[in-house]
Structure 1
Amino acid sequence: MTVRLDRPEEPAAVLAHIPEGADVIVPLMLGEPVGLLDALEEHAAELRGVRIHRMDPYLRRRYIDGAFPGRLNHVDYFLGSGSRQAFWDGNCDLVPNHFSEMPLLLRKSTRCTIALAAASPPDRHGYFSLGTNADYTAAFIGEIPFFLEVNERMPRTFGHNQLHLSQVAGWCRTDRPLFEVPPAVPDERDRRIAALIAERIQDGACLQVGVGRIPNALLASLTGHRDLGLHTEALSDGVLDLVESGALTGTRKLQQRNKHVATFCLGTKRLFDWLDNNTAVTMEPVDWVNDPRVVAKEPNFVSINATSEVDLMGQAASETIAGRYWSSSGGQSDFARGAMYSPGGKAFLVLHSATRGGASRINVQLTPGSVVTTLKNTVDHVVTEYGVAELRGRSLSQRAQALIRIAHPEHRDRLTADARQAGLLH
């Protein structure tokens, strides 16, 4: 079959590039090529032994729910809204990983047959951009074939997420609005946590900030700072206000100076419009952005991520809720380790002291079935609305005392008794 690379094809043309037993790599979140995956599902009867590898799918799909066993199957690396129920129902696999190691894992454990990805229209030089994404997919540019779904709404971004017309196996065109993720609205607890962290961030620090209510509150509280830098996995709407306030410039960074670095983006149309042709933003593959060795090179690196529960030794479970899998490790440990070795670096794990039902999120042991995401030896600071527990270099008894002090007041006496019984307090 002759592919005309100078003009788009129909989405079904991708089938010619999906042999039996193919391992297909698809970006996370907004990088999903919706029309190409529609075509694979519509022609699933013609496929055999095809596996799609991706993280954090946003849209729930038939193939993810196990509608085409043995023909088109999903392998997940971070559960999202599109795959969580499928995993609970036993219809897809979940592979544990550090986000930074995704390209390495895919190279070692799959055939890496082809990548299917959303992209911006080619520029006058014939270059496509993966737009809101670089993630693990961009690491394969130049290594494996790409079939692109060009979306007129996809912002053009810069960095190592671009590929030339001559590097693609084929492409199709669509004009589909990108799905939006509105910023989560912080509550009073979130704002108290944000204030505790903000006062510990110095001017010129380089930030990695997760996504959610507490990160949004933190970004809003940093507008009075100066010369902050950004080196993060997820870039969201909260960054815009920080840039517009003049607080986020990147002038003191040692790597990608004056640039806002990320590996994927999610947010609203406001963010997409800001990203389009914005040369201040650099999208880089995750095996560089999240590499702890790269992170450690930035002085005063500050990492802020959420966790769901912490035990009194400092172990953090961030991918399970009440002992049930909810997501995966992501880049939390990557950045915690990088910040640990950064000169002047700090890492913060944030959580509310109690659940909506009043149960403590700090306990002598993690909930049965929960898994440790960030090791006790790596956890630096734990923050609730009641304060900051500094754990690095502290003994087990000191850790227990510090964590009990920031637990919800209604649970402190019980936690103290539990800690004595467990031998953590004497």
Structure 2
Amino acid sequence: MSFRHDASSAPNVAADVVAHIRPGTQLIVPLANGEPVEVLDAIEAAAIAGDDPRIDAVRVHQMHAIHERRYFAGEFPDRLKHISYFLSHITRPHFANGTVGLIPAHFSEVYGLMRGRGDDALVVAAASPPDRHGYFSLGVSADYTASFIGRAPFFLEVTDAMPRTFGRNQIHMSQVAGWCRSDRPLVEVEPKAPSDVDAKIAALVAERIADGATIQTGIGAIPNAIMAALTDHRDLGIHTELLSDGVIDLMEAGVVNGVKKRLNRTKTVGTFALGTARLHEFLHENTAIELHAVRYVNDPRIIANETNFVSINATLSVDFLGQCASETIDGHYYSSSGGQNDFARGAMYSEGGQGFVVLHSTTSSGSSRIVPRLAAGDVVTTPKNTVDKIVTEYGVAELRGKSVRERTRALIDIAHPDHRDALMTEAHAMNFV
């Protein structure tokens, strides 16, 4: 797929980015398809060669990388090292091997943490070609990157595959240190087909969402099922960190129109997009969609201004107190905090707001995901004082304002029937029932 734009000045080549790097530079890279692949190829090539004194103690800051890199494996840590703020399937094994760093953070606060690393930041990002007014769009990204506009130099990699999007992610040609062209395609992420279990969970959530609500949801089989279950709703709004394919049908059907929103009324708001070519085409020059910086989109104080805000997130296990471990499995890091706690807190403060945390009742091996205690080393993403509703295929446990004993019984009631007796025995031993 190719989107045609006008361009009015000659681009650089990718290798020219090295001229803007000095020892100790903090490279800021957007997540997922916001990554400028050929620009990072050039930086990595200079690090591999090892003969350029400018590539020394350079750190690359990025969430959710989707392209493998040699520096992830720690091949030249004195020259180039990766710092992650959310592990992906690519960076996860490298973190486990000790060659990738991980900074735990709420997504809303990542820009501030990156900014705090020093004043020597250089942003390298993918973008759409400049329009006739000389503005590039960061396309599928705003995330933490957009907040650096006017605060750090940018070197852009332009591709015709990048949709031009609107919001707060445009940068003028006069504001960039350089730019180059590439013909690389964007990576596509196909929606996961929901299972019967996913559909049951989705139905339980959808029936509790009122017409006119503003929704945040993520990517994956359960979020896709929830979006599909909302087709009979009216006047929904979207204010979410991630825009995926699931929003397309709802917008085209008029279910999502944003007319009841208080903020950015009539606009679908996100901070990045990840999906298929269909999504990229839908985003291109679509004025109904705006991408804003994550420090705005995910700020609980902003979210709380919407009435009837609905936050929907997934977790991996929940203990009797309602603590949700969403980023570790058996004490080993799998991802990171992302925006789950941002939206859970925002929904908690929203008038009429609801926070759903969804999960299958069992793992693929049949173990219960409702547990008396989290596993040793598991970390809490949504804490007990914030959690609202936990949903499995067996029902909804409403936890906000409930006692420990009430929570324990409600969670056992939505556990898999095969595990309820054992869970109740544990609950008695803990004096939780």
Using the size of structure 1 for normalisation, the TM-score is 0.98
Residues 232-257 of structure 1: per-residue CA shift (max 9 Å, x gap): 00000010011112110001001000
Residues 271-319 of structure 1: per-residue CA shift (max 9 Å, x gap): 0001000000000000000000000000000000000000001000000
Q: Is the contact between residue 159 and residue 183 of structure 2 (CA under 8 Å) also seen in structure 1?
A: yes
> 1:251 matched to which residue of 2?
259
> 2:133 matched to which residue of 1?
125
Q: Is the contact between residue 191 and residue 217 of structure 1 (CA under 8 Å) also seen in structure 2?
A: yes
> 2:372 matched to which residue of 1?
364
Residue number among 6, 11, 28 corresponding to 1:25 in the alignment: 28
Residues 360-385 of structure 1: per-residue CA shift (max 9 Å, x gap): 00110001111001100000000000
Q: Per the alignment, in what secondary structure is the counterpart of residue 216 of structure 1?
A: helix
In structure 1, distance between residues paired with 2:275 and 2:58: 31
> 1:344 matched to which residue of 2?
352
> 1:39 matched to which residue of 2?
42
Q: Does 1:165 align with 2:173?
A: yes
In structure 2, distance between residues paired with 1:250 and 1:299: 12
For 1:36, give the aligned amino acid: V
Q: Is the contact between residue 307 and residue 317 of structure 1 (CA under 8 Å) also seen in structure 2?
A: yes
Residues 6-64 of structure 1: per-residue CA shift (max 9 Å, x gap): 31111000000010011010000010000000001111112110000000001111111
Q: Does 1:75 align with 2:78?
A: no
Pairs within 5 Å for 1:369-380: 369-380=377-388
Shift of 1:321: 1.4
Residue number among 278, 291, 296 corresponding to 1:283 in the alignment: 291
In structure 2, distance between residues paired with 1:100 and 1:64: 25
In structure 2, distance between residues paired with 1:268 and 1:67: 33
Q: Does 1:102 align with 2:105?
A: no
For 1:148, give the aligned amino acid: L
For 2:278, give the aligned amino acid: R
In structure 1, distance between residues paired with 2:266 and 2:283: 15
Q: Per the alignment, in what secondary structure is the counterpart of residue 64 of structure 1?
A: helix
> 1:353 matched to which residue of 2?
361
> 2:19 matched to which residue of 1?
16
Residues 203-259 of structure 1: per-residue CA shift (max 9 Å, x gap): 000000111000000000001100000000000001001111211000100100000
Residues 109-143 of structure 1: per-residue CA shift (max 9 Å, x gap): 34452100000000000000000000000011010
Shift of 1:323: 1.8
Residue number among 372, 375, 399 corresponding to 2:407 in the alignment: 399
Q: How many aligned positions are there? A: 421
Q: Does 1:229 align with 2:232?
A: no
Q: Per the alignment, in what secondary structure is the counterpart of residue 223 of structure 1?
A: coil
Q: Does 1:311 align with 2:319?
A: yes
In structure 2, distance between residues paired with 1:87 and 1:389: 35
Change in 2 beyond 3 A, CA 1:154/1:330: same
In structure 2, distance between residues paired with 1:185 and 1:64: 31
Q: Structure 1, unaligned stretches of length 5 or more?
A: none
In structure 2, distance between residues paired with 1:200 and 1:285: 29
Identity over aligned residues, as a percent? 58
> 1:325 matched to which residue of 2?
333
In structure 2, distance between residues paired with 1:238 and 1:112: 39
> 1:140 matched to which residue of 2?
148
Q: Per the alignment, in what secondary structure is the counterpart of residue 79 of structure 1?
A: coil
For 1:33, give the aligned amino acid: P
In structure 2, distance between residues paired with 1:60 and 1:360: 34
Residues 78-106 of structure 1: per-residue CA shift (max 9 Å, x gap): 00122111101110110010000011111
Q: Is the contact between residue 223 and residue 246 of structure 1 (CA under 8 Å) also seen in structure 2?
A: no
Q: Per the alignment, in what secondary structure is the counterpart of residue 388 of structure 1?
A: strand
For 1:31, give the aligned amino acid: G
In structure 2, distance between residues paired with 1:161 and 1:266: 16
Shift of 1:164: 0.2
> 2:207 matched to which residue of 1?
199
After TM superposition, the runs of 4+ consecutive aligned structure 1 residues lying more than 3 A away are none
Q: Is the contact between residue 65 and residue 83 of structure 1 (CA under 8 Å) also seen in structure 2?
A: no
Q: Per the alignment, in what secondary structure is the counterpart of residue 363 of structure 2?
A: coil
Q: Is the contact between residue 311 and residue 354 of structure 2 (CA under 8 Å) also seen in structure 1?
A: yes
In structure 1, distance between residues paired with 2:426 and 2:68: 42
In structure 2, distance between residues paired with 1:342 and 1:113: 36
In structure 2, distance between residues paired with 1:32 and 1:107: 18
For 1:338, give the aligned amino acid: G
Q: Does 1:214 align with 2:222?
A: yes
Shift of 1:68: 1.5
After superposing the two structures, state which structure 1 stretch, 239-248 or 345-354, moved more. 239-248
Residue number among 390, 396, 403 corresponding to 1:388 in the alignment: 396
In structure 1, distance between residues paired with 2:345 and 2:309: 11
Q: Per the alignment, in what secondary structure is the counterpart of residue 71 of structure 2?
A: coil
> 2:310 matched to which residue of 1?
302
In structure 1, distance between residues paired with 2:267 and 2:229: 21
In structure 2, distance between residues paired with 1:105 and 1:51: 14
For 1:243, give the aligned amino acid: M
Shift of 1:330: 0.2
Q: Is the contact between residue 234 and residue 264 of structure 1 (CA under 8 Å) also seen in structure 2?
A: yes
